[in-house]
Amino acid sequence: MAQRARIALVDDDIDLAETLAEYLSDLGHEVAIAGSVAALRRLLALQPPDLIILDLGLPDLGGLEALRTLRTRSAIPVLILSAEANPIERIVGLELGADDFVGKPAEPQELAARVAGLLERSGGPTRRLVRLETATVDLGAARLLRLAAPPERLGPGEVALLRVLAQQPGRVFSREELMELAPAESLDADDRAIDTRIARLRRKLATEAIVTVRGRGYAFIPPGEAE
């Protein structure tokens, strides 16, 4: 699994912070919540995060002032989270060095996508995504992502099997190749167990992109590319 990103989520709305932190944690990130700028400073002193999500309405210091101070000391990517609808605040935040801006109420899926983009641009952990008909699989985080649903964890064997198939779309893999490249989690699995694993994976992902090639094996055909 790819290295998890450390994220500092700075917001004094604890209920919202815990909801967003739980979603990001389900994607494999390590999230620390800070309810104030002072708490953020303590986090920075202990271990600098890979990314900071910063609310502007903090109790001890304005978010913009906190951002200004942070930018004199660090280049850590900062995503501003704010309920303020004034576009001037967004502009000022970006001019002060914020890397992105998300308004409240924040949809966890959108926030996660913005976080992933910032991490990739800053050289943090990258995402290997496999897009299916009604869902997306994040192979690095081993999560199945569906719209308006919490991430679902995938087992190591499921991730390994999908990774092998998806990294070479259209190639037919024999059962023997799949057994070697994506070993089952159970040591007593035999040749025909590949059929069972494929069937279970198709059901879990609700996909027809993993196709059976009679007499040869299995292949991954990205949705929309099937003849």
pLDDT tens digits for range 198-212: 999 999 999 999 999
Q: Fold identical between 6-125 and 130-220? A: no
| pLDDT digits 0-9 by tens, 167-181 | 999 999 999 999 989
The percentage of the chain sitting over the pLDDT mark of 90, rounded to a whole number, equals 35
The predicted model scores a pTM of: 0.61
CA dihedral 50, 51, 52, 53 (to 10 degrees): -150
Instruction: Give me the CATH code for the 130-220 domain, please.
Output: 1.10.10.10
Q: How many CB atoms lie within 10 A of CB 221?
A: 15
> May I ask the CATH architecture of the domain 6-125?
3-Layer(aba) Sandwich (3.40)
